[in-house]
């Protein structure tokens, strides 16, 4: 049996290739770590796309419900068994407990110089946000976590530090001195899964 989509239960989300890649990545990861019930197929209960990652809820052939955070390159940031009675809000056991580092290219809407991205990280994991910018421009970064342990650091295009790792309590504003892709890495140094919102602006 293959994993099939229950259209009536799918949350409204853009029908984009990035979302499908995230769903496929979650299915592949579940088949790898979920045991015989997962390998024998199941159902995709819902999919909720966002730029930071796609939340996918799946049920394997044994009836176990899984919560997965997938990305548009097919990688998986989190895969966990969840209580079937809650809609994926309370993970009970994490099948993929190893910390991960993913990369996300930041894009601004036409005519805008700022954007906000919602994300979530398991303990020890990080996301590297890539922003193209020029020498002399000003970069603003602020991170608002829904918990403790979120830090961030900023790298110049040559890999050197623009900003050493600091707490999310402190926003950053500074003038850039290199051309190219700058990287803002958000890190969960705490012991709990933590959601956050990060804001970027380039002037």
- Contacts of residue 80, defined as CB under 8 A and 6 or more positions apart, other chains included, come to 66, 67, 68, 91, 92, 93, 94, 95, 96
Structural tokens at position 155 = 């790298």
pLDDT value of position 201:
96
Residues 168, 145: Cα–Cα separation, whole Å: 7
Q: What is the pLDDT along the chain (203 residues), one digit of tens a residue?
A: 455 544 333 344 344 677 888 888 888 888 887 777 777 778 888 888 777 778 888 888 888 888 888 888 888 888 887 754 444 443 333 444 578 889 999 999 888 999 999 999 988 899 999 999 999 999 999 999 998 999 999 999 999 999 999 999 999 999 999 999 999 999 999 888 899 999 999 99
Q: Where are the alpha helices (DSSP H) in the chain?
A: 17-33, 36-39
CATH 2.60.120.380 in the chain, residues?
A: 101-202
Distances (CA, A) of 85 to 61, 64, 90, 91: 17, 11, 10, 11
Identify the burial level of 78 via C-beta atoms within 10 angstroms of its C-beta, where 0-12 means exposed, 13-18 middle and 19 or more buried: buried
Whether residue 116 contacts residue 91, with contact meaning beta carbons closer than 8 Å, is answered with no
Q: Rounded to the nearest 5 degrees, what angle is found at the Cα of 125, between the Cα atoms of 83 and 116?
A: 90
DSSP 38: H
pLDDT value of position 2:
54
Residues 104, 108: Cα–Cα separation, whole Å: 13
101-202: in CATH 2.20.25.90: no
């Amino acid at each position: 049996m293959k994993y099939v989509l229950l259209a009536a239960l799918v949350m409204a989300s853009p029908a984009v290739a990035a979302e499908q890649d995230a769903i496929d990545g979650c299915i592949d990861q579940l088949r790898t770590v979920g045991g015989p019930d997962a390998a024998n197929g199941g159902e995709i209960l819902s999919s909720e796309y966002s730029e930071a990652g796609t939340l996918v809820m799946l049920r394997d052939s044994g009836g176990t419900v899984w919560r997965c955070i997938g990305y548009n390159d097919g990688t998986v940031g989190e895969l966990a068994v969840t209580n079937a009675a809650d809609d994926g809000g309370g993970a009970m056991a994490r099948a993929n407990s190893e910390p991960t580092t993913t990369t996300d290219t930041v894009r601004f809407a036409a005519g805008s110089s700022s954007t906000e991205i919602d994300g979530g990280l398991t303990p020890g994991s990080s996301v590297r946000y890539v922003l193209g910018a020029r020498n002399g421009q000003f970069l603003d970064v602020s991170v608002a976590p829904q918990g403790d342990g979120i830090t961030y650091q900023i790298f110049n295009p040559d890999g050197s530090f623009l900003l050493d790792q600091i707490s999310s309590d402190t926003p950053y504003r500074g003038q850039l001195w290199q051309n190219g892709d700058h990287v803002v890495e958000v890190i969960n140094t705490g012991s709990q899964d933590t959601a956050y919102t990060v804001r970027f602006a380039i002037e």
